[in-house]
Amino acid sequence: MKTTISNQLLLFVILLSTLPLMGNAQPVYVPGPANIDTSKFAHIYFLRDRADEFPDNWLAVIMNDDRGFCVKAKMNHIYRVNTLLTGDTRFHTSIHQAKVEISLPLSPGKNYYVELKPERQDDKSVVGRMKILDEAEGKARTEAFPHTIQDRYCILPITGNHDFRENAWKDTIRWYASNQYDYSFMPLPSWELIVRTPSRTAFSFRNKSISNTYSEGGGILYQPLKKCSSETEFENYCRGEFIRSTLDKQRDSLLSWEVKPVTVPDGMKYARIVTIENRNIGDDLSDGKPLLIRSAYVVFFWTDKKSKGNTACLYTSERGLPNELHSISTLEERIRWSWDSFRLVKKNND
């Protein structure tokens, strides 16, 4: 049983059990450029705080005719969706094509409250009910809620760019490790999955309505290192060949870097955090001003049952003008959060 997506509609279906997070709380931050004006956000609280008939199911909400993923709600949760959209904005659920829709007149800085509840009909079908609450009831229920309210961001959804579609497929992402095993990890809240292959898992975000210069990327990439006999040799690789491999000789100039220790999960031999800042010449800027790129990598090495070495990196990276970028320490904190969720898991049989 698992959540499915068809034609950009997230349907309400029975949830596939996911790996426990081992106490790994979600990082709290506003995705996007560091200088984004959060005072202009409208905040829509989706409340599924009361018990219903479907404790193991998600109820998904879509914004503006499938143009922007909004939220998928679990029972006993409240979600706060933050958006820069204004004016009449539509939200709908669709369960096996039984569509329920509401409209909210969004204004900057305002709060809105919507109760979510899947309901079984007389004919045994299920619909996703949405009820707009008045401010007094909505505020009282959110203040009484004993758990953390989950933030989601649909800042400026546009066709072909479901910005900040957090965990739209699953709570965890699986990535190829061998014929028998995958690595499973939690993606960062701002990451939108764009490609997943045996050699590469890539996430990205860019929305020109927010900034012509800011972009964010991340994921996992294999690296060419196949033999490594000691931790010292691995650290030297990270300090030398790996850092050089991240730079474009024609466009990038290295400004600073640092290599630090990091926890090593079961199944791996060596791992290091590498942070890099470099200047980048961006062709997409009309005035030709250079951009900065700040990146945080976890580079790791492991051997399989045949003693064959493998190296890859988990990373997050921002590119933009200096006032748009978060600090290196912030990016390091985010990638450590994702890295702490890394697990070696057996492949599914299906």
Sheet strand arrangement including 68-74:
68-74, 58-63, 87-95, 98-106
Query: What pLDDT, on a 0 to 100 scale, did the predictor assign at position 283?
Result: 60
- The whole-number average pLDDT for the span 289-294 is 88
pLDDT confidence of residue 194: 73
Q: Which residues contact 214 (CB under 8 A, 6 or more apart)?
A: 32, 33, 206, 318, 319, 320, 321, 324, 325
For residue 163, name the pLDDT band (cuts at 50, 70, 90). very low
Structure tokens at 76: 């006993």
Model confidence at 256: pLDDT above 70: yes
Q: How many CB atoms lie within 10 A of CB 199?
A: 10
**What's the pLDDT score for residue 68?**
58
Mean pLDDT of 120-140: 93
pLDDT digits (tens, 9 = 90+) for 140-149: 999 999 999 9
Mean pLDDT calculated for residue range 185-203: 77
- Average pLDDT of the residues in 260-271: 93
Predicted local distance difference test score (pLDDT) of residue 136: 98
Place of tokens 């219903």: 52
Average pLDDT, the chain: 83
Q: What span, in angstroms and rounded, lies between the C-alpha atoms of 87 and 106? A: 5
What is the pLDDT averaged over residues 13-37? 59
pLDDT in tens, 46-80: 999 999 999 988 888 888 766 556 688 889 999 99
Position with higher pLDDT, 253 vs 183: 253
Which of 200-209, 288-297, 313-322 ranks highest by mean pLDDT? 313-322
Q: How confident is the model at residue 284 (pLDDT cuts 50, 70, 90)?
A: low
Give the dihedral sign, CA 107/112/117/119: negative
pLDDT at 322: 93
**Per-residue confidence (pLDDT) for residue 88, from 0 to 100:** 94
Q: For each of the domains in the chain, give its residue range(s) and CATH number, in order of start.
A: 5-153 (2.60.34), 173-346 (3.40.1000)
pLDDT of residue 326: 97
* Percentage of the residues of the chain whose pLDDT score is greater than 90: 47
pTM above 0.95, yes or no: no
Residue 169 has pLDDT above 50, yes or no: no
Nearest to 343 by CA among 198, 201, 222, 184: 184
- Is 11 a residue whose pLDDT tops 70? no
Structure tokens at 19: 């790996």
pLDDT of residue 264 exceeding 60: yes
Give the separation between CA 215 and CA 40, rounded to whole angstroms. 20
State residue 232's pLDDT score: 97
Among the residue ranges 7-21, 90-104, 163-177, the one predicted with the least confidence is: 7-21
Locus of tokens 């709380």: 25
